[in-house]
Amino acid sequence: MRLIFRDFPLNEIHSFSQKAAEAAECAGEQDKYYEYHNKLYENQKSLAVSNLKQFALDLKLNSEDFNSCLD
Give 55-66 pLDDT, tens digit per residue. Answer: 999 999 999 999
Taking only the tens place, the pLDDT of each residue in 16-39 is 999 999 999 999 999 999 999 999
Q: Are 27 and 69 in contact (CB under 8 A)?
A: no
Give the model's confidence band at 46: pLDDT under 50 very low, under 70 low, under 90 confident, else very high: very high
Look up the pTM and report it. 0.89
b/e 15-41 (16+ beta carbons within 10 angstroms → b): ebbebbbbbbebbeebebbebbbebbe
Residue 71 has pLDDT above 90, yes or no: yes
Q: How many CA atoms lie within 13 A of 3 on its CB side?
A: 1
CB atoms within 10 A of CB 61: 22
Distance CA 11, CA 56 (A): 22
